[in-house]
Structure formats: C-alpha cells, structure tokens
Amino acid sequence: MTTYTDKGEKHEQGRFLCFDHLTFWVGNAKQAASYYCNKLGFEPLAYRGLETGSREVVSHAVKQGKVKNDQSLQPGKMGEHLVKHGDGVKDIAFTVEDCDFLVEKARERGAVIVKEPHTLEDKYGKVRLAVLQTYGDTTHTFVERAGYSGSFLPGFHPPLFKDPLLAKLPSGKLNFIDHVVGNQPDDEMVPVVDWYQKNLLFHRFWSVDDKQLQTEFSALRSIVVANYEETVKMPINEPAMGNRKSQIQEYVEYYGGPGVQHIAMNTSDIITAIRNLKERGMEFMSVPDTYYNQLRENLKNSKVKVLEDVDVLQELKILVDYDDNGYLLQIFTKPVQDRPTVFLEVIQRHNHQGFGAGNFKSLFEAIEADQNARGNLTVLTPNGISKNM
C-alpha cells in the first residue's frame, strides 16, 4: 500500500469543491428513485418530466444529507446504453468554482468536451454547467452554482408525490459521498489515472497492487486519485491475473466495459445506520465469524482503540481497518440491480483516510462467494480465458 504526499500542480484558478450528485441511467426512473428512498432513506428532492413540460427527459432527484442522486430516463439516448450496461451511473457531477476556466484548461490538455459550458436559469438563479467524457461511457458534469437557491437544478420542480411510508421508516443516517470507484478492464487503470492527472490536475492519493490485494482465486490493483484539496476521491480499479475470474472482470463483462463499481457514503454512526438500513430491507454482504475472531486478536497488539463494541460489529457484519493513527468502519451492499455491477458502501472514518485495504481479502472472499453462487467464479487458463470447470 502506498500513500502519496505530492499533490502536484494546483489550478491557477477554479477549484473542484466536492461531489455534487450522481446521475443514474435506468429503465424505470420512478421505481429506481422509490428503491433508494425506501431502502436507503433518501427523500424525494425534485422532478422533471411530462407534467413539468419536459418532453424527452424524466428525472427523479433524491437526497439524503449531502448525497444527491438523479435517476434519469432519456428515451431517445438511453436505449443502446441500457442494452449494453443495464442500470448504472452515467454521470459523476462535481461542484466547481469557475466552470469555464476548468473546462478550457481540460480542453487544452486533450479532454473531450461532451457539452460546452452553458447556463441554466430559473427564478432561483443561474447554474453554469459543462460535461466532459471520462472512462468508458461515463461522464463528468461540472456544476457552478454561484448562489443558486433552488432545491436542485433549473428545470426541476418539487416532487409530484411523497410516499407517506417514508416518514414511518428509520433514518438512513448517510451524510455525503465519500468516494466513487471506477472499474476498468485489464491494463486500462493507469491510462485512466493519467487522464485525471493530466486533464483535471488530480493527483495520486493512495494505491495498492495485486500482491497486496489477492485471495486464493483472484486479485486486483487500485489507484486513488483526488483533487488538490482532497475533497473528491476516485479509486480506479483493474483486475489482475488469478486462478479464477476476478470480481472486477465480472463487473466489466456484465457492464459491457468500464464504469462505476460502487459509491461509498459517509456516516457518523454506522451501527445505527446499518441497523436502520437492514430494518428497511437493505441487503449487505456477509463476513464469516472467523474474521472477527482474528480482529479481536489483532487489536490486542494495536496502538489504536476501536470505540465500538466488536460484538455489535460482528452482529452487523461491519468491517474494521486500522493503522497506528486511527481506523475506519465499512460495509458493502449486494448489487442493487440484477446485473452484478453497481453496489454501495457505508463508511465511518475515525482519523483514517484509507480505503479498507486490510479488509480487501475478506471483502473479496465475500464477493467471490456470491460470484460463485452466480456461476461466475470460473477457472482461467494461463491466458486469462474462462474454461469449463
């Protein structure tokens, strides 16, 4: 594991402030929004569709804490995308200062501009936006709000319906997006990392190689890139050769190429959050009890003290990673659609800015158990091709 201290070049002007929102392209935006509200504790935020005069785009925006998701249905553009990828994250939006400057600098460095800087306006003010192409079919929207006081974006209206069931369910206790992970095919991780460093002036924040992240069957490599202020973090993964098909390779095959693997959301009380989310019916990956037996032994010799009761963490199957300075708690959902692609993470940090490298083996083994149940933990030839078991 490597932690980098060199932040590289700083933008002359303009900044990436934080994640603004994620846009999912899905087959049924109304049902997808309802899923995130009912299962994860989001609340309806804004809507645009036929009833608001939008003839081509239907979007249901939902929010929890500072986490905003936009479930969009765009019939004219989405057919081929949905056939290829299924439901998934189409766009990762950043809140920025000086959108035009950041876009022009990215253009000079070779970035593909999907949509030029433009202004949307309504009675609540103006928002400046632009869209850039990143890995695969994924895009980044730059959002400069400049005092905009509306609930989401110009063109959106208050939700048409608020499910009365939501008020009866426990809080999801999710605060903000911690990081967004992108999966790449083999040998494409470094070029993607280079793209962020070159075009957005992000820097390498953290990395691990396949010698550190492996199980009996599979392995991966990962590099995390971040903005200068380190408020936006993007882990970029790729599969590494193993005895069987990596979960990263499974994702790439079922998604039809590179894309967003999972979204990590911060909480300040993971025990209550997971109790509540399980009560709401959210499914999480399981971890064997042997993990916690070993954890208890390891913590006896650690300088860090985990404040939470390990028995409770074991009950809820929450993972722990730590170093001499602090620790983090994390748990992962099962995929949130039929394809084994996008899933979610809930994370709580205690003076620890890592990404759970100490848990990767346990996490991989849990994912591989599900992967095997799907019939996809296949044996590979020396050339990395699946063969019949």
Kindly report, residue by residue over 221-276, the tens digit of the pLDDT. Answer: 899 999 999 999 999 999 987 777 788 999 999 999 999 999 999 999 999 999 99
User: For 333, what's the count of Cα atoms within 13 Å in the CB-facing half-sphere?
Assistant: 26
**Annotated binding residue 345:** yes
Spatial CB neighbours of 17, under 8 Å, sequence gap ≥ 6? 94, 95, 96, 97, 229, 231
Per-residue pLDDT, averaged over 287-298, amounts to: 91
Q: What is the pTM of this model?
A: 0.92
- Return the CATH fold of 176-380: 2,3-Dihydroxybiphenyl 1,2-Dioxygenase; domain 1 (3.10.180)
CA 242, chain centre distance (Å)? 25
Domain 2-160 has CATH 2.30.130.10: no
**Dist. CA 23–CA 88, nearest whole Å:** 9
- Between CA 278 and CA 128, with CA 178 as vertex, the angle to 5 degrees is 120
Per-residue pLDDT, averaged over 335-363, amounts to: 88
Residue 21 pLDDT > 50? yes
Three-state DSSP class for 209? coil
**Annotated binding residue 262:** yes
**Dist. CA 337–CA 86, nearest whole Å:** 8
Greater model confidence, 199 or 76 = 199
**What pLDDT is stored for residue 387 in this prediction?**
56
Each residue's pLDDT tens digit, 206-224: 888 755 556 666 678 899 9
Q: Where are the domains of the chain?
A: 2-160, 176-380
**Strand residues in the chain grouped as ranges (E):** 2-3, 15-25, 43-48, 58-64, 67-73, 88-97, 113-122, 125-133, 139-144, 176-183, 203-208, 219-226, 233-240, 259-266, 319-322, 327-332, 343-350, 379-380, 386-387
Per-residue pLDDT, averaged over 87-114, amounts to: 98
User: For 238, what's the count of Cα atoms within 13 Å in the CB-facing half-sphere?
Assistant: 16
Give the length of the chain: 389
Q: Do residues 15 and 97 lie in contact, with contact meaning Cβ atoms separated by under 8 Å?
A: yes
For residue 200, give the nearest of 109, 91, 69 by alpha carbon: 109
176-380: same fold as 2-160?
Answer: yes
Each residue's pLDDT tens digit, 31-78: 999 999 999 999 999 999 999 999 888 999 999 999 988 887 776 678
For residue 206, give the nearest of 183, 179, 184 by alpha carbon: 179
**Dist. CA 81–CA 339, nearest whole Å:** 14
**Dist. CA 291–CA 156, nearest whole Å:** 47
Beta bridge partners of 36: none
Instruction: Tokens for 178, please give them.
Output: 């911690």
Mean pLDDT score across all residues of the chain:
91
**What pLDDT is stored for residue 9 in this prediction?**
82
Question: Which own/partner contact pairs does 70-78 have at CB distance under 8 Å and 24+ positions apart?
Answer: 70/21, 70/22, 70/23, 70/24, 70/152, 71/24, 71/26, 71/29, 71/30, 71/32, 71/33, 71/36, 72/23, 72/24, 72/25, 72/26, 72/29, 73/25, 73/26, 73/27, 73/28, 73/29, 74/25, 78/25
**What pLDDT is stored for residue 224 in this prediction?**
96
**What pLDDT is stored for residue 361 in this prediction?**
67
Greater model confidence, 6 or 18 = 18
